[in-house]
Amino acid sequence: MTLTDATTPTRPSRRRLSTSKAMVEGIAQEMERDPDVFVLGEDVGAYGGIFSSTTGLLDRFGPERVLDTPISETAFIGMAVGAAVEGMRPIVELMFADFFGVCMDQIYNHMAKIHFESGGNVRVPMVLTTAVGGGYSDGAQHSQCLWGTFAHLPGMKVVVPSTPADAKGLMISAIRDDNPVVYMFHKGIMGLPWMAKNPRSVEPVPEESYEVPIGKANVVRPGSDVTIVTLSLSVHHALDVADELAGDGVDCEVIDLRSIVPLDTGTILESVGRTGRLVVVDEDYLSFGLSGEVIARVAESDPAMLRAPAARVAVPDLPIPYARSLEYAVLPTADRIRRAVLRTVGT
Amino acid sequence: MDSQLTLDLYRTMVLIRTFEEAILREYHADKKPVFDIGAGQIPGEMHLAAGQEPVAAGVCAHLTTDDAVTATHRPHHFAIAHGVDLRRMAAEIFGRVDGLGRGRGGHMHLFDPGTHFSCSGIIAEGYPPALGQALAFRRRGTDRIAVAVTGEGAANQGAFHESLNLAALWKLPVVFIVEDNDWGISVPRSVSTCVTSNADRAAGYDMPGERVEDNSVEAVYEAAGRAVERARAGLGPSLIEVHTLRLWGHFEGDAQGYRSDLEGVPGRDPIPTYEAALRRGGVLDDIGVKNAQEAARQRVEDAIAFARQSAEPDPASALDHVFA
Ligand SMILES: Cc1ncc(C[n+]2csc(CCOP(=O)(O)OP(=O)(O)O)c2C)c(N)n1
Ligand SMILES: [Mg+2]
């Protein structure tokens, strides 16, 4: 079963799960189905993942398939690469995306390049899961999104769910994919009991196994005045703004990218072609990243599509500050999104 | 050991504990009834060092503020023992303009050029910069040294091993400290580490390695004395691992459900143990204990009050300090 639109599952389910539980259910169903799937990383065993991305898997599948590693990311991510090359399907967790600095070589020079360098003869079917995002004052080394950095480097797919149903379906697709897939989950979408959460972090999730296709964006709110292209936690801020502005007669279309690599250019162009206005909301850094890429795709296709200048709401090229007053001044908050949308429709 | 020195070590430990208890109180004060990590006057992750006071007190007693210390995500005890200003440190933890980093850094990112103190939230990544500080001190013809601190979990990280080799190769004036508190978040050292003592690893890098087994501040002081003397004399680095204690959770909010040794933890608290030893030795009595606690309380509460009254950073200044 393929679920193309998470908001309308083929078999409606009333069972509601948090995003973290949905993600774990996806992993568990694949582990049941395929003995080659296994999980490794720091604190993925008894702790169940710092952000509950592996809760209960140790009890269910045992320490042979759910492995707590030393704090040695180069060694254990490289180990996942080697196991994948031999046909296993490892899911390896980098606790925070911010920590990629200590292990990036295994990720971008090995995981991402082996298939190409082998002329297509070697496959690296693995999933690299990692937590991203800020908003809770965790400072400059624990709050970044960095998906633009991963997406910039060729050879790995990059998926970024924003809802429980997509978290499960994208996980299953990522595990089954014969390519390395970086699966980036925002801490603020997980539905964690110890962190402020958006109301959509607990939602209906189909019980059966299903895939959400990688590379397919989701129009989560149709609209005619302006297209908001976004992803991850920002989808929820964008939806809140869209609901609010509907009362003022501004009809926003909201696109949840879900995948960055491959990027669903078709859905973006189709939407902007209709609305003529584009706001990109991205919790990653502003320059040289996703927001510029989305606008470039539109400009490359037909610059005349835009009836107003495109707008970007992103982190304005500074490390994420600790103090709440500063962090919320630079995150893509609902307030900043609203102002960008109004500026865009006003022109 | 000289009784003035033992009293100083004791007072440093009490000061650290008093600070950590005050931060604990302030951190949780407005996160009730439901714990929300991002809420309250001190938001974010909070890694407190209660139980690990002997390491910082014993090592830093050999240093002046001309020496450098690079610490970890759990930095307060070393900052205090090294002489970082309590007021500005507390203000940074509160994210205020008078903080060490004007509220930009937070509790894992305390930078104090005045005492050459720094820390990092990335495991083992405080080791390499210590080498550079040591190199600078030597090139300038001084006998200043750098102390690099990390946890036992970090000793399995590449940066740890690269730093040991390079420091030994170039005979840099560095003292490497490993705080073995038995746990790297939920992972016990027996599950993460192939050797029973990280001091054994020093042999592979041609430097002296010593393990202090019982979290005793005096034993740490003596081991550190040897290592600091060697570094100041230009003979190169040493490594000391201290078997210490994580008295509380990995971070605040950690329910520690994974922790098998929890029952024995309170009995291993190093401060009552040392206090009792000093009482037996006639160095400390009720009045001495009370004085130490009261002096610490005053300094700490003054720092907390300073932090509280300091302003929150102006959002309009958010883009400041990205470049010099
Ligand atoms: C490179 C990197 N990997 C993982 C983490 C997440 N992390 C933070 S503290 C910690 C455990 C550290 O254990 P240890 O070195 O023993 O220090 P302790 O917390 O016990 O003081 C981990 C895994 C990190 N901050 N940096
Ligand atoms: Mg430890």
Digit-coded pLDDT (tens) for B33-59: 999 999 999 999 999 999 999 999 999
Q: What is the mean predicted confidence (pLDDT) over B257-279?
A: 96
Distance CA A131, CA A57 (A): 18
Of ligand 1's atoms, which has the minimum distance to the CA of residue B183?
A: 20
Q: What is the pLDDT of residues A89-146, one digit of tens each?
A: 999 999 999 999 999 999 999 999 999 999 999 999 999 999 999 999 999 999 999 9
> The tokens 């570094």 sit on which residue?
B231
HSE of A219, CA atoms in CB hemisphere, 13 A: 16
* pLDDT at A1 > cutoff 80: no
> Which part of chain A is CATH 3.40.50.970?
16-204
Q: Does residue B29 lie in a domain region?
A: no
**Helix intervals (H) in B30-157:** 53-60, 76-82, 86-93, 127-139
DSSP bridge pairs for A259 = A159
For residue A264, name the pLDDT band (cuts at 50, 70, 90).
very high
Q: What percent of chain A has pLDDT over 70?
A: 96
Q: What is the DSSP letter of A110?
A: I
Number of domains in chain B: 1
Q: Taking Cα atoms as reference points, which of B320, B135, B161 lies closest to residue B239?
A: B161
Query: Considering chain A, what is the average pLDDT of its residues?
Result: 96
User: Cβ–Cβ of B312/A137 closer than 8 Å?
Assistant: no
Ligand 1 atom at minimal distance to the Cα of residue B151: 15
Nearest CA to B210 among B241, B188, B234?
Answer: B241
Give me A218's structure tokens: 């989701």
Q: Which residues of A are catalytically annotated?
A: 73, 142
In chain A, where does the domain assigned CATH 3.40.50.920 lie? 218-345
Q: What are the residues facing A204 on neighbouring strands?
A: A16
What pLDDT score does A15 carry? 96
A60-70 average pLDDT score: 98
- Ligand 1 atom closest to A50 (CA): 6
- Cα distance from A343 to chain B (closest Cα, Å)? 20
Q: What is the pLDDT of residue A10?
A: 55
For an interface test with B, the pick among A317, A322, A335 (most B C-beta atoms closer than 10 Å) comes out as A322
Q: Is residue B129 part of a domain?
A: yes
- Domain range enclosing B70: 3-24+37-309
- Residue B170: phi and psi, rounded to 5, are -100, 10
Ligand 1: does its nearest atom lie under 6 Å from the Cβ of A102?
yes
State residue A308's pLDDT score: 97
Question: For residues A21 and B133, what is the distance between their CA atoms, to the nearest angstrom?
Answer: 46
User: Residue holding tokens 């302003």?
Assistant: B311
B322 domain-assigned: no
Residue A171 has pLDDT above 70, yes or no: yes
Looking at 3.40.50.920, 3.40.190.10, 3.30.413.10, 3.40.50.1110, the CATH number of the domain A218-345 comes to 3.40.50.920
Put simply, the answer to whether B95 touches A142 (Cβ < 8 Å) is no
The model's pLDDT over B103-134, given as tens digits with 9 standing for 90+, comes to 999 999 999 999 999 999 999 999 999 999 99
User: Which B residues in the span 234-263 are in contact with A, Cβ-Cβ below 8 Å?
Assistant: 253, 257-258
In the predicted structure, residue B278 carries a pLDDT above the cut 60: yes
CB of B126 within 6 A of ligand 1: the answer is no
Residue B317 belongs to some domain of the structure: no
Interface of chain A against chain B, CB under 8 Å? 42-43, 45-47, 50, 68-74, 98-99, 101-102, 135-142, 193-196, 316-319, 321-326, 328-330
d(CA A251, CA A304) in angstroms, rounded, equals: 21
| CA closest to B161 among chain A residues | A72
pLDDT score, position A197: 85
Out of B36, B103, B258, the one facing A323 most closely (by C-beta) is B103
pLDDT above 80 (res B168): yes
> Residue A12: its pLDDT value, please?
63
Residues on chain A touching B317 (C-beta within 8 angstroms): 326
Question: B185, B246, B251: which to mutate for ligand 1, most atoms within 8 A of CB?
Answer: B185
Name the residue with tokens 């710092």. Answer: A50
List of chain A residues whose C-beta atoms are within 8 Å of the C-beta of residue B258: 46-47
Min CA distance, A333 vs chain B (Å)? 13
**pLDDT one-digit tens code per residue, B22-37:** 999 999 999 999 999 9
Query: Beta partners for B119?
Result: B71
pLDDT at residue A7, as a whole number: 45
Distance from CA of B168 to the nearest CA of A (A): 22
Looking at chain B, the whole-number percentage of residues with pLDDT higher than 90 is: 99
pLDDT score recorded for residue B100: 98
For residue A198, the model assigns a pLDDT of 84
| Res. B267: pLDDT tops 80 | yes
Closest ligand to Cα A131: 1
CB within 8 Å of chain A, chain B residues 6-65: 34-39, 43-45
- At B138-152, the pLDDT tens digits run 999 999 999 999 999
Note whether B44 contacts A98, CB cutoff 8 Å.
Answer: no
Rounded CA separation A279/A242 (Å): 12
For atom 13 of ligand 1, which residue has the closest CA? B184
From A330's Cα to the closest Cα of chain B, the distance in A is: 7
Contact A141 B108 (CB under 8 A): yes
Q: Kindly state the average pLDDT of the residues B150-159.
A: 98
Q: Which of B77, B108, B123 to mutate to test the pocket of ligand 1 (most atoms within 8 A of CB)?
A: B123
- Return all residues near A210 (Cβ < 8 A) that are at least 6 apart: A1, A2, A3, A9, A168, A169, A172
Classify residue A7 by burial, with Cβ atoms within 10 Å: 0-12, 13-18, 19+. middle
The verdict on residue B15 lying in a domain is yes
Does the structure show a pLDDT above 70 at A258? yes
**Index of the ligand 1 atom closest to the CA of residue B122:** 26
Q: Which atom of ligand 1 is nearest to the CA of B246?
A: 20
Domain A16-204 part of CATH 3.40.50.970 = yes
Q: Is B124 on the interface with A (CB under 8 A)?
A: yes
Task: Say if residue A8's pLDDT is above 50.
Answer: no
Q: What is the mean pLDDT of residues A51-77?
A: 98
Is residue A13 predicted with pLDDT exceeding 80?
Answer: no
Q: What is the DSSP string of B141-168?
A: T----EEEEEETGGGGSHHHHHHHHHHH
Q: Render pLDDT for A189-235 as a digit per residue (tens, 0 to 9).
A: 999 999 998 889 999 999 999 999 999 999 999 999 999 999 999 99
* CB-closest option in B45, B313, B322 to A138: B45
Is the residue at B46 inside a domain? yes
User: Contacts of residue A74 in chain B, CB cutoff 8 Å?
Assistant: 158
